[in-house]
Structure 1
Amino acid sequence: MSSYNSFLPTAARTILSPSWAPALREKSITPIVLNSYQQIRGAKVQSKGKSQTKQKRGPRYFHQKDLRNIQQFALCDAMRYIRAFEVGRDPRTTKYELHIRLKTMRDGPVIRNMLRFPHSIKTDSRICVVCPPGSRHEKEAKAAGAVLVGEDEVFNLVKAGKIEFDRCVAHPDSMDKLNKAGVARILGPKGLMPSTKTGTVVEDVASRVEMLRGGLIYREKDAVIRMPIGQLAFSPEQVRDNMRVTIDQIKKDAARLSDRINKEIHEIVLSSSHGPGFSLNGEFKSDESIASEALTGS
């Protein structure tokens, strides 16, 4: 068995050496040695204890900025600054972009839908339609402008990595075959998998193709809905009309979720493909706004 000296600190072993033996007889030294030894033992025991504190949960709602602390702009003023940032770029390809910030909980359903603008932004979207070959739906989809129509032909191209379309619509009669084809793991991450929730599984595929060519699909992410709202060549009136339709549709989407889920529009920000964002105050013009004709075209 080891000697008790091996368990003592170095300083204590020095004091207990034969040269210090006479000093041990003094009562004043013994308490000092014992107290220091007890403190060290106590420190070791305390370090082994487990923390009983529980981690606090994060906030239930997404944090949004206080609008009283930021500068906001009328629509025409925001468009004026954005066009200055986009000088030299093609106004037909550069887009105005809308960012709608929501007051909403972190956990819960999200808003996602599709809409058609009164002033179409993009008419060259490539639409794929999955429907029974040889049916009237195939003929109507091709007449509406779909670039790829069918079933097995579509599945083979997707598996080969040749996804040359921007949207995918499916007829209900082809959904079973689509699910069994094993292409969901490819189309899903790209946001191209047809779904009833996004309105891309419909009976009238031709009308949906026409709508998608002039509209878009949007989805809430991290309490923000982002979407293009118009070309840079659009007039302020055209951008305003598209914004009105968008805001009205999002309010309807929020009302359909649930009576227990409260989603409200907190802020609307207008930006562009390469420019910064400007928070809008809800006004169309201000006293310093220029004529809308100067904000239209190239």
Structure 2
Amino acid sequence: MSLGLLSRRCCRSALQQNSLLARQFNTTSVLFARREKTIPTPTKKQLAAKARRKALKVRKHIYDSEKIPLHDAIAVLRAIEVTRPNATLELVVKTAMPKGTTIPKGRLTWPREAKPQSEERILVFAEGRQADEAKRAGAHIVGGLELVDDVIGGRHNPTTILCVPNLLRSITPKLGRVLGPKGLMPSERRGTVTEDIAGYIRRMQGSVEWKGDKTGTIRTAIAKTAWPLEDITKNFRYFLSVVKKATGNTRDLEAEAKGKGRQANPLTRVVLSSNQGPGIQIADF
């Protein structure tokens, strides 16, 4: 009697537990299902505020507080070079060189030359009528594919190499590795690959080439300490305008219209110095 009662109780409790488990399984809501998180898109105002906060946290250079205006810097260097009135003023422009940018380079014609120009030696890859026009314009070496081996062997030492478009693909496989590191390889972006070879040579006359190093630092002589203040300032402003355009710091509407806009390479520091004077950071550039 007691054994049957005990068995009935055990069966009843087991049935109750099974019913409870089934009821919990059927009625329990889904609490731990994976939910996709939606990331809110920041507005322009929020992005601008974030950029301002980030700029405030950037550590400033220790000499940022020593920047002075251009006219004051010229006066200081003139005072230091008082015994050498014909001292040279040198300008150093430091660029950031972010990833994907090329070494800054270009040509310009100074409003007033600070130092005599070095003689250009021009080599031109052209044939037929364009070769004759290049010779008449003043090119030193003119020829076709036969010049490739001479350039590789070092028989010619040109300072500028120009090429017509129809010969570019023929010379690139052999000369790319040789002339590329030297910055002499003809390029459409730089304008050294052109149909108007004679026009390019004429534009070169009276102009000088400038370029930076691998770190993006550009150095050039811009004036003499004995020059009038207006001439020094004109050369300074003109050179910086050319560098800003070449590094993408000014809008080039013509390039944007052609879809050839380039990544900007910001100018981080502009320093003016003399032969015996210190380097002075310029505030107004």
TM-score of Structure 1 vs Structure 2, range by shorter chain: 0.5 to 0.7
Q: Could you list the per-position Cα deviations for residues 113-157 of structure 1 after superposition, in whole angstroms to 9, with x for gaps in the alignment?
A: 42322334554432323232332x333333433322222453233
- The DSSP-based 3-state class of the residue aligned with 2:177 is helix
Of the structure 1 ranges 240-249 and 183-192, higher mean CA displacement relative to structure 2 is found in 240-249
1:101 aligns with 2:94: yes
Percent identity of equivalent pairs? 24
Change in 2 beyond 3 A, CA 1:132/1:105: closer
Q: Tell me, in whole angstroms, the C-alpha distance in 2 between the residues paired with 1:82 and 1:144.
A: 45
Q: Does 1:187 align with 2:179?
A: yes
* Aligned pair partner of 1:173 in 166, 171, 183: 166
Say which SS state the counterpart of residue 119 (structure 2) adopts: coil
1:175 CA displacement: 0.8
How far apart are 1:259 and its partner, in Å?
Answer: 8.7
Aligned letter for 1:247?
L
- Structure 2 gaps, min length 5: 1-57
Partner of 2:126: 132
2:66 aligned to 64, 70, 89, which one?
70
C-alpha distance in structure 2 between counterparts of 1:234 and 1:156, whole Å:
48
Provide Cα deviations, 1:138-194, integer angstroms capped at 9, x if missing partner. 3333343332222245323312213422222222122123224x1222212211111
Q: Which residue of 2 aligns with 1:196?
A: 188
Name the counterpart of 1:280. 282
Q: CA RMSD in A?
A: 3.9
Give a deviation string over 1:181-220, Cα, whole Å, max 9, x none.
Answer: x122221221111112222212222232244441214347
The structural deviation recorded for 1:83 is 4.9
Decide whether the 8 Å contact of 2:125 with 2:145 is kept in 1: no
Deviations 1:244-264 (A, max 9, x none): 222223333334599995654
Aligned to 1:28: none
2:118 equivalent to 1:116: no
Does the CA-based 8 Å contact 1:98-1:271 persist in structure 2? Answer: yes
2:112 is paired with a residue whose SS is: coil
Tell me: CA distance 1:66–1:138, structure 2 relative to 1, closer, same or farther (3 Å). Answer: farther
Q: Which TM-score applies when normalising by structure 1?
A: 0.56
Counterparts of residues 236-275 of structure 1 (less than 5 Å): 236-252=229-245, 253-254=248-249, 255=251, 263-271=265-273
Please tell me whether residue 144 in structure 1 is matched to residue 137 in structure 2.
yes
Q: How many residues align?
A: 213
| Partner SS for 2:90 | strand
Q: Pick from 145, 157, 162: which aligns with 1:164?
A: 157
Q: Which residue of 1 aligns with 2:208?
A: 215
Determine the C-alpha separation between the residues in 1 that align with 2:128 and 2:210. 28
**How many Å separate the matches in 1 of 2:178 and 2:151?**
8
Runs of 4+ in 1 over 6 A off after TM superposition: 257-260
Instruction: Measure the CA separation in 1 of the matches of 2:128 and 2:225.
Output: 42
The answer as to whether partners of 1:127 and 1:145 remain within 8 angstroms in 2 is: no
Amino acid at match of 1:271: S
Evaluate the alpha carbon distance shift between residue 142 and residue 150 of structure 1 in structure 2; reply closer, same or farther with a 3 A threshold. Answer: same
> What TM-score results when the alignment is normalised by the length of structure 2?
0.58
Distance 1:171 1:234 in 2: 44
Closer, same or farther in 2 for the Cα pair 1:266/1:134, shift >3 Å? same
Distance 1:76 1:221, change over 3 A: same
Residues 121 and 160 in structure 2, CA contact (< 8 A), matched pair in contact too: yes
Conserved in 2, the CA contact under 8 Å of 1:168 and 1:193?
yes
- Which residue does 2:78 correspond to in 1? 80
